[in-house]
Amino acid sequence: MQRSAQVTLSFALLLCAGITAALAKTALHPGDTLPEISGQTLSGKQLTLPAAAAGKPAVVSFSFSRTGGKDSALWSEHIEKDLPAVGHPYTLMMIEAAPKFVRGMIVSGSKKGMPPQAQDRCIAMDHDEDAWKKRIGYTDENKAYVFLLGPDGRIRWKSSGAFSDAGYTSLRKEIGQMQ
């Protein structure tokens, strides 16, 4: 009886250690390299990150809803205006959870009013959403998840949530340290 309890406890501890290790490998943190993500941009071009941003700082944002997309757009507007050397951020609209018949409307609506250079850097992702949620530390569909990549593709800074002056100041400071 005691042997069975020891085996069960050992198995439970190994399982917990394995789950913890798996979670540590999937959640992205500063210093990690952004895993490759590719797709067709809203302008019809093929884009692969982090390769497309190699050699220069780049901002990448993920959004999972209209509210998150609006917040992502707010980050983009500030970055384009204040940091022209960085260029328009790369945007990943995660639309897999939307019904298939709605996805085309999401893409079409997003393109309206979006300048061509923004369309060249925006991918509507209709796959791997759950994996990316784990990687970016997803907690709320209404948040934008914003990452700063260094010239080497490594994450230097990250934020989730509503745009704020404090968060933007922190991002600008980190970009300034790379230039």
Tell me the whole-structure pTM to 2 decimals. Answer: 0.84
Token pair listed for 156: 């230097």
- 138-166: average pLDDT: 96
pLDDT tens-digit series, residues 115-127: 999 999 999 999 9
Structural domains of the chain ordered from first start: 2-178 (3.40.30.10)
In this predicted model, which residue has the larger pLDDT, 49 or 19? 49
Say yes or no to pLDDT of 63 above 60: yes
pLDDT at 22 over 50: no
Residue 14, pLDDT above cutoff 50: no
